[in-house]
Every structure is written in structure tokens, then in C-alpha cells.
């Protein structure tokens, strides 16, 4: 006679307001920590270390605010659409996080160029050449903008996976016996 075994399902755990808020907070923290870390890894090494350390809390708070606003303004509606269409897996969360972070980054970067100050003739550049001339992006500027947007999109993608993990994957103490698999994986 065989022993009864637990039935494994791919059921999504119930989404409570607390679980959703924890997921969104964890996503904002993850995105801000990854973005801040990336910014300081790419920082100018000629700046004194004390200057970098002094600015760290301000950058961390600023990126946390940016990710929090982005998650609420862009991520929640995007998640709702994916959830309604049944896309409740980590690749969908990664793709949504990357896409929305890129869109948000590009929108923030272009805002001063779309709504310039009156009589402004703003120009800027980097070591590779001019990026903006008289409030107009150069080809080099567009390439740089999209390269930066792609780089920062990974922080948003990883934050999206963190949100998915907290929102959709049952913790061992919350799941009925045998329901420990993430919802996008078939039972073994």
C-alpha cells in the first residue's frame, strides 16, 4: 500500500495588502541600492573619498524616492495588466521592471529638453563628445542616453523580480503542505 503524498499545485498565494506593500517596499529598496551602487562604482575616482561618502545618503534617498514613485506610478498599473492577463512569472516581472525603468529614465533625462527654460541655449558633453547642443540632443547624446537607460534598467528588472518573489511565492510557513514551488514552475 502506498503512502499518500501531498498534491503540488502552482496556485498563486492570496495577495493581501500587506504582502503587496512589502513587495513594493522591497522593490524600491532593491532598485535604489542597485542604482546607488552602480553610480558609485562608475564615479569619478579623482574625487576625494570623503566627498563620495558624504553624498552617499543623499543619492540613496533620492534614488529610493525615484524608485518608489516609479513603482507606484508605472509599476502598479503595469503589474495589474500583466496579472489580469495571467503573466505571473519572474521573466514577466524582469521584463516589466526593465522596460518601465528605461522609460522612466529616458523621460526624466529628456524633461529639461522638452520644457527648456526661456532663452536657454543649454549645451553639454562628455569625454566622447557633445551630447546636447542648444537644447537639442546630438547623435552621440542619444546613444549615451539609451546606453545609460539600458544599464539602469537592470536595477529595475531585478527590483521587479524581488517584487514578484515577495508577492507571488508562498513562504514555507504560509503555504499548505507541498505548495512551495513558485507559480511559474511545474512540480518535479
- Alpha-carbon distance of 153 to 156, in angstroms, equals 5
- For residues 74 and 59, give the distance between their C-alpha atoms in angstroms, rounded to a whole number: 21
Q: What value does the mean pLDDT of the chain take?
A: 82
pLDDT digits (tens, 9 = 90+) for 48-69: 777 777 888 899 999 999 999 9
Q: Which among 98, 22, 25, 33 is positioned nearest to 63, based on CA atoms?
A: 33
Ranking 30-39, 126-135, 138-147 by mean pLDDT, the lowest is 126-135
Query: In this structure, how many other beta carbons lie within 10 angstroms of the beta carbon of residue 147?
Result: 10
Sort residue 187 into left (φ over 0), alpha (ψ -120 to 50) or beta. Answer: beta
Helices (H), 122-181: 139-168
**Would you place residue 118 in the very low, low, confident or very high pLDDT band (cuts 50, 70, 90)?**
confident
Task: State residue 89's pLDDT score.
Answer: 93
Amino acid at each position: 500500500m502506498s503512502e499518500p503524498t501531498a498534491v503540488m499545485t502552482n496556485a498563486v498565494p492570496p495577495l493581501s495588502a500587506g504582502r503587496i506593500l512589502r513587495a513594493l517596499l522591497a522593490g524600491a529598496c532593491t532598485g535604489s541600492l542597485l542604482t546607488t551602487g552602480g553610480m558609485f562604482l562608475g564615479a569619478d575616482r579623482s574625487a576625494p573619498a570623503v566627498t563620495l561618502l558624504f553624498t552617499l545618503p543623499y543619492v540613496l534617498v533620492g534614488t529610493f524616492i525615484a524608485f518608489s514613485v516609479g513603482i507606484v506610478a508605472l509599476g502598479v498599473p503595469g503589474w495589474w495588466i500583466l496579472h489580469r492577463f495571467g503573466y505571473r512569472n519572474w521573466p514577466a516581472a524582469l521584463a516589466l521592471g526593465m522596460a518601465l525603468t528605461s522609460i522612466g529614465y529616458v523621460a526624466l533625462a529628456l524633461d529639461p529638453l522638452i520644457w527648456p527654460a526661456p532663452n536657454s541655449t543649454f549645451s553639454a558633453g562628455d569625454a566622447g563628445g557633445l551630447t546636447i547642443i542648444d537644447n537639442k540632443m546630438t547623435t552621440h547624446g542619444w546613444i549615451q542616453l539609451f546606453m545609460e537607460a539600458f544599464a539602469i534598467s537592470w536595477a529595475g528588472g531585478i527590483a521587479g523580480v524581488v517584487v514578484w518573489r515577495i508577492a507571488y511565492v508562498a513562504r514555507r510557513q504560509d503555504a499548505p503542505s507541498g505548495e512551495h514551488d513558485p507559480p511559474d514552475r511545474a512540480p518535479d
